[in-house]
Amino acid sequence: MPAFVMVGRKVCTDPKFSLNDLTGSTGRLDVLLRCVNSAFMLSNDIRRNVEIYLVLLGEPDPPRAILFRGKELKYLNPDERSTAALVKNALMKDAGADWVNSTPGIFTARKDLAGILEELGGRRIIYLKEEGDKISGINLDESDVFVLGGKEDLSPVEEALLDGRPETRRVTLGPRSLHADHCITIALNLLDNSLKE
């Protein structure tokens, strides 16, 4: 199944954040929440064959990763506030190197980008970036791992980590800069169409 890895370099790791201020007090958690919505929400259904990893690197307790696994997911609604409540519940869990279940289909661990890439093994990494190969020239596969930044681009260290892996491809979705959640929608649509052919 395809996986998306979203890096939130300033996204808050404190579970006490306010559900009433998702843009100001959370380091732009709202951007990642929209990405979760785009990864799973269909008209009157959700995708079961997708995973999304949120890598939270903000204060006060980084790194924290939250995994949404479609085939086990429950209680996901299309609004950002209820998804934020699920993230808040995950951050309340004591987390170590291994995944801990928070609610059905949602897990948390102390992992950064390197740890998640290690876990995903030798799967091809599609690094979605404005400067890259055109996606029209790439045959997408349902085992691909799509990596992108949230509000901020990846750091030079994170980019070097990706570029140092032989299975990484830098890929652009088009000539314009897009919101991260729109990138996920487009990537999944292209993947849906490529699997139909």
Q: Locate 68 and state its tokens.
A: 């949404």
User: Please, which pLDDT band fits residue 196 given cuts at 50, 70 and 90?
Assistant: low
Q: Closest by alpha carbon to 66, among 17, 10, 6? A: 6
Q: What whole-number distance in Å separates Cα of residue 39 and Cα of residue 34?
A: 9
CA distances from 31 to 87, 138, 140, 166 (A): 13, 27, 25, 29
**Stretch 36-61: mean pLDDT:** 95
pLDDT of 71 strictly over 90 = yes
Q: Which residues of 13-52 are buried (b: 16+ CB within 10 A; e: fewer)?
A: bbeebeeeebeeebbbbbbbbbbbbbbbeeeeebbeebbb
Question: pLDDT tens-digit profile of 156-179?
Answer: 999 999 999 999 999 999 999 899
Domains of the chain: 3-196 (3.40.1280.10)
Render pLDDT for 109-119 as a digit per residue (tens, 0 to 9): 999 999 999 99
In the predicted model, what is the mean pLDDT of residues 13-31? Answer: 92
Return phi, psi of residue 109, to 5°: -155, 165
Contact 81, 37 (CB under 8 A): no
Q: Is residue 121 very low, low, confident or very high in pLDDT (cuts 50, 70, 90)?
A: confident
The answer on pLDDT for 181 being more than 90 is yes
Computed over every residue of the chain, the mean pLDDT equals: 93
- pLDDT score of 197: 55
Mean pLDDT, range 68-82, rounded to an integer: 95
Q: How far apart are CA 67 and CA 54, in angstroms?
A: 6
Judged by phi (left if over 0) then psi (alpha if -120 to 50, else beta), residue 27 lies in left
Does position 195 have pLDDT exceeding 90, yes or no? Answer: no
